[in-house]
Structure formats: C-alpha cells, structure tokens
Amino acid sequence: MSRIVYVDGAYLPEADAKVSVFDRAFLMGDGVYEVTTVLEGRLVDFAGHMRRLIRSLTELAIRPPATEEELLAIHRELVRRNELDEGIVYLQVTRGVADRDFLYPPADTRPTLVLFTQKMAVLERESVRRGLSVATLPDIRWGRRDIKTVQLLYPSMAKMEAKARGADDAWLVDTEGRVTEGSSNNAYIITPDRRIVTRRLSQDILHGITRASVVRLAAEEGYTIDEGGFTVPEAKAATEAFITSASSFVTPVVSIDGSPVGTGTPGEATRRLRDIYIAESLRTAI
C-alpha cells in the first residue's frame, strides 16, 4: 500500500507528495523536525514533541505553520489514513520557498509543512533482546544541538563509521573525553551504586522527550539521577548502559568500543526502565 503523505494542507499519495527545489531545507538545511511514536494507533508524548517543535522554530525564527491543535488533527488523520498501529509520524517544518540567499527571506514567508508515517515494530525489537554495541567517535557537530534541525549529515557519517567498525551505533564524545549523546539518541550509564548518569541539558545535546520521561520515572523508582555526564572509561566500568529516543524507547547498550558493559548482556535495570516507560506511554498516549 502506498502511503498517504501530508504536504501543506493536502493529503497525497506518496508519489505525488512534492516540495519545491527552492525550499530552504533542500538548499540550506533550513528546517526542523519531530518524530512521534505511535502505539496502538495513538501518539506517545505528543505534547512534549510539540513543545520542543515550537522551541526549535522560535530559536530559528521560523513561523509556526499551524497551531498545536491543528498539528494534532493532522497527525491523527495521517495515522487513520495509513492505518498505522505501530510506528512513527515524522513531521518537518522548513522556512519555506525563496530564492537562494544566506539571509532569511521575509518573515511572512509561508513555512513548508510535511508529515509522513513509517510503519515499524517499536515494542518487539531484536536490538532490545541482544543489546546494542556502540563505537565512540568525536562529536564535531555544530554548537546548537538543542535545536532539532534536519542537518543530520554528521550523525549519519558517524553511524556509517560505527557500522564500518562493526558496531550498531555511535556515541559522540566531546573534546574533554565526555560522552554527549548517541547519533540519534540520548546516552546513559548505571553505576554500581545505582546512579543513572547522563549529560545535563544544554546546547551540547538534544533535549530528548523520552529522556524527560525516563529521568522522571527512574527518579520515582529510587534511582539517583546524576547529570554530571560520563567519560568513555567510566562507561566501560558501568554495570549497565542504555540509550533513549522516541523510536527506541529505552534500549540496552552492551558493549563500547568492543569492551563489554557489565555482563555484556542486557541488564535487569534497563529492562525494567523500558517496561515502565512503555507502560506509561500506553497509559498516556493520545
């Protein structure tokens, strides 16, 4: 079945869904996006994704293309038209269509709004049973990683390099040797004294919507949340490690640069955090 894609007010068969070659996202990477997970045909953490979308748009002075209520209606209509039970909705907003220029076009330029669905298994995944291996690579992305822009070339290069090294994904490391985040996820370790360590929110990382929920749920479970960040040797000495993102939820990391983390198999604490997060998501999805 060909998907139905939303482009600027129209629901179109994917072959007919097109944007201009003069779109600023095509020419300048001038756009932002969100990925919202769908479980049982409902949207997980929708309000959080919309809050971050507005923040990204505000930081870049791009006009919001629609109200949150309208965006919710479009998400739901797309889920309905594509009979999506489990997967994701991808949303992209660009600054719109204008002659190529480094200066932004006038503020009243109409932003481009595109949404599409992707069917995928998010609950049952081989990566969760097996655990992920990661390779560490220097974080050479730009300095505003808190804005969820479509400039994803380095994360893509890093993931390719990780694959070439035989790993599933990359963990990116700053110039002081501290892990920032994964190529498309937030990174955590669990220490022998039951601390969950991750990077503090700043312009260095994306403010994960899943991160916010998982940190809250982990604190309710009695974990101490340490936002001081961690080095690669600290990660290798951890009892467990994991990542979070909208599509991976909580997924164990079992090896770093070929060194096993803890037993080298998915850990009990990570499994429990995943289960709690999924239960909460199923309870609160809209």
Q: Which residue number, 208 or 267, has a Cβ lying nearer to ligand PDD?
A: 208
Q: Which residue number, 17 or 246, has a Cβ lying nearer to ligand PDD?
A: 246
Active-site residue (options: 119, 148, 159, 236): 148
C-alpha span between 150 and 147 (Å, rounded): 9
CB of 206 to ligand PDD, least distance (A): 4
Whether 148 sits among the annotated catalytic residues: the reply is: yes
C-alpha span between 206 and 186 (Å, rounded): 8
CB of 258 to ligand PDD, least distance (A): 23
∠ CA 253-254-259, rounded to 5°: 120
Q: How far is CA 274 from CA 40, 268, 269, in A?
A: 17, 10, 9
Q: How far is CA 201 from CA 28, 146, 198, 205, in A?
A: 27, 8, 9, 7
CB of 89 to ligand PDD, least distance (A): 11
CB of 120 to ligand PDD, least distance (A): 11
Q: Which residue number, 250 or 256, has a Cβ lying nearer to ligand PDD?
A: 250
The contact set with ligand PDD (CB under 6 A) reads 35, 181, 184-186, 206, 208-211, 244-247
Burial class (CB in 10 A: 0-12, 13-18, 19+), 71: buried
Q: Which residue number, 169 or 181, has a Cβ lying nearer to ligand PDD?
A: 181
- The residues carrying an active-site annotation are 148
